[in-house]
């Protein structure tokens, strides 16, 4: 898998800023309440956002772009042997 940059510099700076804010908040809460696992999960999510901003690669954006490319390439298929039907023939008429 080839990992290339898929977010812009401004988006990366916003991700780093928000990620560090969330990370610092959650670690401060973990000091007060170490028995709560939710703060650990939030800290991991904040660290992930910081890493996405530094690397400038977002896996969710990559999956979305890949889905958009696949959606453009594949024709409409219903799976019942009627691949050559037009969309107007499949969908009922709705005047509203």
Residue range 26-41, pLDDT digits in tens: 999 999 999 999 999 9
Q: What is the pLDDT of residue 43?
A: 96
Q: With CA atoms as reference, report the closest residue to 56 among 1, 3, 5.
A: 5
pTM of the model: 0.68
Q: Sign of torsion, CA 93 80 74 65? A: positive
Q: What is the pLDDT of residue 85?
A: 55
Of 55 and 91, more confident: 55
- Secondary structure letter of residue 5 according to DSSP: -
């Amino acid at each position: 898998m080839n990992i290339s940059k898929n977010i812009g510099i401004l988006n990366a700076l916003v991700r780093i800023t928000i990620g560090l804010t969330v990370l610092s908040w959650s670690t401060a809460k973990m000091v007060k309440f170490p028995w709560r696992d939710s703060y650990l999960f939030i800290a991991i999510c904040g660290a992930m956002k910081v890493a996405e901003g530094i690397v400038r690669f977002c896996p969710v954006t990559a999956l979305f772009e890949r889905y958009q490319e696949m959606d453009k390439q594949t024709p409409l298929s219903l799976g019942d042997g009627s691949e050559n039907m037009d969309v107007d023939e499949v969908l009922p008429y709705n005047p509203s």
